[in-house]
Amino acid sequence: MALTAKNKFTFLGVLVAALVIGLVAWSYHKKSSNTELVIGISPPFANPLKVAVEEAKQQGINVKLVEFSDWNTPNITLNHGDIDANYFQHQPFLDNAIKETQFKLKALDKGVTTHVGLYSKKYHSLDELPDQARVVIPNDPVNQGRALLLLQQAKLITLKNPENHLSNLQDIAANPKKLQFIEVEGPQTPRAVDDADLVFSYPHYLRLAKTIDPNDALILDDNTNTRYSILFVVRDDYQQQHPEKAAQLEKFIKIYQTSAKVKQTLNDEIGSKLWFPGWK
């Protein structure tokens, strides 16, 4: 049946109105999705951040957490601009990553600082450790340096430069027990506790792996500075390219740093004596 002139105008009006409503809805959806903050994280940091995410939502800040199982992909993804920030690394690790990759990244703010320790299921003290014991340490240059500093603190080795936090196995000047070093990926160190004689590891990763109580370290590092604070990292140009989202991210970080619920979750997840705030 042919449309009359009046019906044609009515039909066109309805069509235009539908198109306008559709465009407005699409524009709103695009704007809404673009305001969501996406942060790449390592699994051990997830639960305290989830608490901050819920508190941020009450203030109109939408945050999505994306977990990565390794320590390389979060920086690659961030450098490509696929996420807004990441939270898994400390400053020495970031410095080394930038040196090796030329990524355009920077620290926006600090999170928690965790102690590290030497752990064993076979021995109850460092004095019991036998000659040629198998010792697991991280294979990346930065965390290996941190492990060697702790082994030196434990008087198990001596480094050529006792203050160098980037020492590697070639920088060991004395190894009286002839310790045998096994290098593994940092996140895998908790899994080695069942087999090795001594393992360098991180309380939050041990808590996640449930291989040994993080409080049962034979020795903890005596670090009290914030060199190893976990950082909220962004692209160099993030604040210039995305000023509104950067402002939202800074508000989210402040929630993470000041929330009593986040602090309690950090105590539960890491241990109240095994972390301290890096932002103070």
Q: Profile the chain (280 residues) by mean pLDDT over runs of 10 residues.
A: 44 42 38 78 97 98 97 97 98 96 98 97 97 98 96 98 96 98 96 97 95 97 93 98 98 98 96 95
Residue in 259, 257, 256, 236 with CA at minimum distance from that of residue 246: 236
The pair of three-digit structure tokens given for residue 259, joined into one six-digit string: 């929330």
Q: State residue 6's pLDDT score.
A: 44
Q: What is the pLDDT of residue 35?
A: 86
Closest CA to 210 of 119, 148, 136, 78: 119
pLDDT of residue 47: 97
Instruction: List all residues 6 or more positions away from 201 whose beta carbon is below 8 Å from its beta carbon.
Output: 116, 117, 119, 136, 189, 190, 192, 193
Structure confidence at residue 1 (pLDDT): 42
* pLDDT score for 34: 74
Residues 6 or more apart whose CB falls under 8 angstroms from that of 150 comprise: 116, 117, 118, 200, 219, 221
- The count of C-alpha atoms lying within 13 angstroms of the C-alpha of 138, restricted to the half-sphere facing its C-beta, is 25
What pTM did the predictor assign?
0.84
